[in-house]
């Protein structure tokens, strides 16, 4: 061949390869918008809801929640059965023998030991590490590892090779210490025994949480090695790529192109594959909520997992108008016990009915940075609880909920949505101007708040910065909050809008004065909200530290009487929302879905808003087995947002 033609031929070959690689995939059985780009597919490093949603498609824990039941009951998953000792401390899980990874290898008890150990390491900096400290010996192991790493950093080495060998030796010792200290034992390939530090009423609910899912050690360990400089385990994310990731859930990852799309196919080795109605799932990267709505309306999407378009309030109003036109039929179906999705399926087809507002197990709030000094070194006035209470009292929550959000979301005076957890009584919460029945009461609250600022010697020239990320209407909420504080307290405010990634980093690093935040409960117990304010919790973005609060959580953890335990937790929340106010609860969330109930089934109306996508079915498409599609699932019709 002419040497001059070689570059041209090579270029042509590269173009062909690129075109083939970029060739459109066949239409997936289900296509949905996650709206936020997935941060990680490493379960032990997850924190955000859109990550956890994908994790439940790819991975499977020991157990899972029956999301279509009223009580969100625990049901078998990777473990086909389990038993609990009389003292409620020891759990024995029997992993099903047909549980398989997506490469066909068996899922074993050691897979869970390896994965949970990763979460217990201070090296990982997992937001949910504290959950694993409930296991007997886990805290001691965590503390030993942290001290060993500190000691390693202070050592002097004669050579680089000596330092590298020392890092390897430290890791070998870490593995041995874990085996000795942590009461998590694999009796055989299919039997896992876990002993807890103390009884944990919600431990099985934790095991259903995606962070407790296993990862495949032969693959993941190839991307982990001790850092010869720090001794810490370095983790590279290459094992989470499409076509590389090995998972044990209903689906396997075939494509993950950052800011483009993600595609999953049925795991051919999944023990429950015969119950799956979907062969393929696709998640295109659509970060703009308006683009997502347009994509849905043009038929490119089957489901929007969280519609955050600025005009969604209008869409909810349209849905309410549609329901009003069929008020008698709606009332009749509700009386018969049908949930809101089933009601929509039994009403006439109408595009307005494709918007669904569901009461959620979550709260929108504003954080205060509670550290003594701000990032620039200045004294922080919000380190004083009196200042935080004053600002909380004078925030107009009702205007935000009713005029900005317009989704039927109730004003919040507590962090935990009232009535969302059986047996738990919510505290009253701090009085707020939104609670005032008249102008006289409103002014009295404002004057009391101003007196608190005087008492705390609040600097009048201090500028309060409100930080928030772009999109989802956070800017409008920030403007309303700033207006409330300027009008009622006479303080100076400044809005600080940032890109989401930068905002998240600033939040974690406490690089803010006040900042928007939100939290959805991960399991059905008050501690799923209260623990995020423990002084050592990875999700304590406020740097809040109150020994009394921490002690109450510890007391509740030791209390075996369920009634007394709930009373202790209620007092814990009272301190949080009536006295210390490291955060201001503003409203309790409603989640806005978009889907056609005549076409898509398997979604839960439960306020935990934990959708298991592998339960979905697209009707009338001829795919998958003919699953039962009950028109009257067990989940409740909840109070709150029900358009």
Long-range contacts of 627-632 (CB under 8 A, 24+ apart): 627/275, 627/277, 629/601, 631/338, 631/342, 631/345, 631/346, 632/336, 632/337, 632/338, 632/339, 632/342
DSSP bridge partners of 359: 590
DSSP secondary structure of 177-211 = HHHHHS-EEEEETTEEEEEBSS--TTHHHHHTSGG
What pLDDT is attached to residue 441?
Answer: 96
Q: What pLDDT is recorded for position 23?
A: 61
What CATH number belongs to 26-38+248-349+597-643?
3.40.190.10
- CA–CA distance, 351 with 596 (Å, rounded to integer): 8
| Model pLDDT, residue 422 | 80
Q: Give me the residue spans of the domains in the chain.
A: 26-38+248-349+597-643, 78-207+214-236, 360-589
Domains 26-38+248-349+597-643 and 78-207+214-236 share a fold: no
Averages of pLDDT over each 10 residues, the chain, 643 residues:
39 37 79 92 91 96 92 94 97 98 98 97 88 96 97 93 95 97 98 96 95 98 95 93 97 95 97 96 94 96 94 94 97 94 95 94 97 94 98 97 92 93 93 96 97 96 94 91 97 94 92 95 92 93 97 93 96 98 97 95 87 88 39 37 53
The CA distance from 508 to 515, in Å, is: 11
Q: DSSP letters of 507-532? A: HHTT--SEEEEEEE-SSSSTHHHHGG
pLDDT of residue 622: 39
Residues 6 or more apart in contact with residue 405 via CB below 8 angstroms = 313, 473, 587
Tokens 């197990």 belong to residue: 361
User: Residue 213 phi/psi, 5° resolution?
Assistant: -70, 155
pLDDT value of residue 431: 96
pLDDT attached to residue 22: 59
Second-level CATH architecture of 360-589? Roll (3.10)
How many helices and strands (H and E) does the chain possess? 20, 20
Structure tokens at 338: 């049908």
At the topology level, CATH places domain 78-207+214-236 in: Dipeptide-binding Protein; domain 1 (3.90.76)
d(CA 494, CA 502): 18
- The residue assigned the tokens 């090296």 is 123
Model pLDDT, residue 606: 84
Q: In whole angstroms, give the CA distance from residue 285 to residue 280.
A: 16
């Amino acid at each position: 061949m002419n040497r001059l033609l070689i570059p041209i031929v090579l270029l042509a070959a590269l173009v062909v390869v690129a075109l083939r690689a970029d060739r459109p995939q066949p239409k997936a059985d289900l296509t949905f918008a996650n709206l936020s780009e997935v941060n990680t597919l490493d379960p032990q490093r997850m924190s955000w809801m859109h990550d956890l949603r994908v994790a439940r498609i790819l991975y499977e824990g020991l157990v899972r929640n029956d999301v279509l039941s009223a009580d969100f009951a625990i049901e078998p998953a990777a473990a086909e059965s389990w038993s609990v000792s009389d003292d409620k401390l020891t759990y024995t899980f029997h992993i099903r023998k047909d549980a398989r990874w997506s490469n066909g290898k068996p899922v074993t008890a050691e897979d869970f030991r390896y994965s949970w150990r990763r979460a217990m390491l201070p090296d990982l900096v997992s937001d949910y590490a504290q959950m694993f400290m409930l296991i007997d010996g886990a805290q001691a192991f965590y503390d030993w590892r942290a001290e060993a790493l500190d000691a390693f950093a202070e050592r002097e080495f004669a050579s680089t090779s000596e330092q590298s060998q020392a890092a390897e030796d430290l890791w070998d010792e870490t593995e041995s210490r874990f085996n000795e200290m942590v009461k998590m034992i694999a009796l055989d390939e299919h039997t896992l025994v876990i002993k807890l530090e103390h009884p944990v009423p919600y431990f099985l609910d934790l095991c259903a949480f995606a962070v407790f899912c296993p990862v495949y050690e032969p693959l993941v360990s190839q991307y982990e090695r001790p850092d010869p400089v720090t001794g810490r385990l370095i983790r590279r994310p290459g094992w989470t790529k499409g076509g590389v990731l090995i998972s044990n859930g209903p689906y396997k990852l075939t494509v993950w192109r950052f800011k483009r799309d993600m595609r999953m196919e049925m795991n051919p080795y999944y023990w429950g594959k015969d119950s799956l109605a979907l062969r393929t799932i696709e998640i295109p990267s659509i970060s703009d909520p308006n683009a997502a709505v347009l994509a849905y309306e043009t038929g490119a999407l089957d489901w929007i997992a969280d519609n955050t378009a600025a005009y969604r309030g209008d869409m909810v109003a349209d849905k309410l108008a549609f329901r009003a036109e069929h008020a008698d039929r709606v009332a009749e179906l509700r009386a018969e016990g049908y949930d809101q999705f089933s009601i929509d399926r039994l009403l006439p087809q109408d595009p307005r009915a494709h918007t669904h507002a569901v009461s959620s197990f979550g709260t929108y709030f504003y954080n205060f940075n509670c550290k003594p000094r701000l990032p620039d070194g200045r004294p922080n006035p919000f380190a004083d609880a009196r200042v935080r209470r004053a600002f909380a009292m004078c925030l107009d929550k009702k205007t935000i909920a009713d005029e900005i959000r317009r989704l039927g979301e109730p004003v919040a005076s507590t962090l935990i949505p009232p009535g969302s957890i059986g047996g738990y009584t919510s505290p009253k919460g701090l009085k707020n101007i939104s609670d005032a029945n008249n102008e006289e009461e409103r002014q009295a609250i404002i004057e009391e708040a101003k007196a608190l600022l005087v008492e705390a010697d609040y600097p009048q020239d201090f500028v309060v910065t409100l930080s928030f990320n772009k999109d989802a209407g956070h800017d409008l909420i920030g403007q309303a909050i700033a207006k409330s504080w300027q009008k009622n307290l006479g303080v100076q405010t400044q809005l600080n809008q940032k890109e989401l990634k930068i905002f998240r980093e600033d939040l974690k690093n406490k690089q803010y004065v006040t900042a928007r935040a939100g939290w959805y409960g991960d399991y059905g117990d008050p501690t799923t909200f209260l623990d995020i304010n423990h002084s050592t919790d990875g999700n304590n973005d406020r740097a809040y530290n109150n020994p009394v609060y921490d002690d109450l959580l510890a007391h509740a953890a030791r209390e075996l009487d369920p009634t007394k335990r709930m009373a202790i937790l209620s007092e814990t929340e009272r301190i949080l929302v009536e006295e210390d106010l490291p955060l201001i609860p503003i409203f309790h969330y409603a989640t806005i879905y978009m889907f056609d109930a005549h076409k898509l089934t398997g979604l839960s109306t439960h306020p935990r808003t934990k959708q298991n996508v592998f339960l979905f079915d697209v009707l009338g498409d001829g795919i998958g087995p003919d699953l039962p599609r009950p028109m009257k699932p067990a989940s409740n019709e909840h109070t709150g947002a029900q358009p």
